[in-house]
Amino acid sequence: MNAPSLALSPSRAALANALRALAMDAVEQANSGHPGMPMGMADIAEVLWRHHLRHNPANPRWADRDRFVVSNGHGSMLLYALLHLTGYDLPMEQIRRFRQLHSVTPGHPEYGLTPGVETTTGPLGQGLANAVGMALAERLLAAEFNRPGFDIVDHRTYVLLGDGCLMEGISHEAASLAGTLGLRKLVCLYDDNGISIDGHVSGWFSDDTPRRFRAYGWNVIEAVDGHDADAIDAALKRAQAAGHPTLICCKTVIGKGAPNKAGSHDVHGAPLGQKEVAAARASLGWASPPFEVPDEIRAAWDARSRGAAMEANWSERFQAYSRAHPQLALEFVRRMAGELPPGWAERSAALVRDAAARNDKVATRKASRNALEALASSLPELIGGSADLTGSNLTAWSRSTTVTADTAGNYIHYGVREFGMAAIMNGLALHGGLLPYGGTFLVFSDYARNALRMAALMRLRSIFVLTHDSIGLGEDGPTHQPIEHAAALRLIPRMDVWRPCDALETQVAWIAAIERRDGPSCLLLSRQNLPAQPRDAAVCSQVQRGGYILAEAPSSTPQAVIIATGSEVELAMQAQRQLALEGLGVRVVSMPCASAFDRQDAAYREAVLPNGIPRIAVEAGVSDYWRKYVGLDGAVLGLDRFGESAPAPQLFEYFGLTASNLSALVRSTLHRTAEPAAPPTGERSHPALTLG
Ligand SMILES: Cc1ncc(C[n+]2csc(CCOP(=O)(O)OP(=O)(O)O)c2C)c(N)n1
- pLDDT tens digit string along 641-672? 999 999 999 999 999 999 999 999 999 999 99
Looking at residue 674, its pLDDT comes to 84
Can you name the residues that pair with 411 across neighbouring β-strands? 384, 402
Share of the chain above pLDDT 70, in %: 96
Q: What is the pLDDT of residues 201-232, one digit of tens each?
A: 999 999 999 999 999 999 999 999 999 999 99
State in Å: Cα 225 to ligand 1 middle: 22
Q: How far apart are CA 409 and CA 167, in angstroms?
A: 31
Output the CA angle 629-687-594, nearest 5 degrees.
Answer: 20
State in Å: Cα 478 to ligand 1 middle: 34
Active site residue 418: yes
Residue 206 neighbours by CB under 8 Å, 6+ apart: none
From the list 397, 406, 402, the residue with the least C-alpha distance to 414 is: 402
Mean pLDDT of the chain: 96
Q: Whose CA is nearest to atom 21 of ligand 1?
A: 37
Position in ligand 1 atom list of the atom nearest CA 125? 1
Q: Provide mean pLDDT across the span 419-433.
A: 99
pTM: 0.96
State in Å: Cα 502 to ligand 1 middle: 44
A 10 A CB-CB count for 539 gives 18
Share of the chain above pLDDT 90, in %: 95
Q: What is the pLDDT of residues 548-579, one digit of tens each?
A: 999 999 877 899 999 999 999 999 999 999 99
pLDDT exceeds 80 at position 686: no
Grouping H, G, I as helix, E, B as strand and the rest as coil, residue 488 is helix
> Residue length, the chain?
692
Helix (H) or strand (E) run with residue 161 in it = strand 157-162
Looking at residue 2, its pLDDT comes to 38
What Å distances lie between residue 83 and 135, 457, 551, CA to CA?
Answer: 22, 22, 56
Looking at residue 377, its pLDDT comes to 93
What residues line ligand 1, using a CB cutoff of 6 Å?
A: 36-37, 72, 74, 122-124, 162-165, 168, 191, 193, 195-197, 254, 268
Q: Whose CA is nearest to atom 19 of ligand 1?
A: 196
What Å distances lie between residue 296 and 89, 109, 188, CA to CA?
Answer: 20, 28, 30
Pocket-testing residue among 72, 120, 190, 200, ligand 1, by greatest number of atoms within 8 A of Cβ: 72
Pocket-testing residue among 20, 124, 195, ligand 1, by greatest number of atoms within 8 A of Cβ: 124
Looking at residue 359, its pLDDT comes to 87
CA contacts within 13 A on the Cβ side of 54: 17
pLDDT exceeds 50 at position 298: yes
State in Å: Cα 162 to ligand 1 middle: 8
Q: 19 with 304: CB under 8 angstroms?
A: no
Looking at residue 683, its pLDDT comes to 41
What Å distances lie between residue 494 and 33, 113, 117, 501, CA to CA?
Answer: 28, 16, 21, 22
State in Å: Cα 594 to ligand 1 middle: 35
Q: How far apart are CA 136 and CA 409, in angstroms?
A: 11
What Å distances lie between residue 446 and 221, 449, 527, CA to CA?
Answer: 35, 5, 19
Packed helices 36-51 and 76-86: angle between N→C axes, nearest 10 degrees: 40
Q: Provide mean pLDDT across the span 318-336.
A: 98
Q: Whose CA is nearest to atom 13 of ligand 1?
A: 196
CA contacts within 13 A on the Cβ side of 337: 9
Least confident of 19-33, 199-213, 652-666, 676-690: 676-690
- H-only helix segments in 209-357: 209-215, 229-241, 274-284, 295-301, 304-324, 326-337, 344-357
Indicate which residue of 144, 168, 418, 568 is catalytic: 418
Looking at residue 673, its pLDDT comes to 87
489: left (phi over 0), alpha (psi -120 to 50) or beta: alpha
Q: Provide mean pLDDT across the span 327-354.
A: 97
Looking at residue 447, its pLDDT comes to 98
pLDDT exceeds 70 at position 81: yes
Amino acid at residue number 42: A
Q: What is the pLDDT of residues 368-418, one digit of tens each?
A: 999 999 999 999 999 999 999 999 999 999 999 999 999 999 999 999 999
Looking at residue 8, its pLDDT comes to 54
Return the CA Rg of the chain: 28
From the list 521, 362, 547, the residue with the least C-alpha distance to 429 is: 521
Looking at residue 228, its pLDDT comes to 98
Position in ligand 1 atom list of the atom nearest CA 191? 20
Looking at residue 358, its pLDDT comes to 87
Q: What is the pLDDT of residues 501-556, one digit of tens each?
A: 999 999 999 999 999 999 999 999 999 999 999 999 999 999 999 999 999 998 77
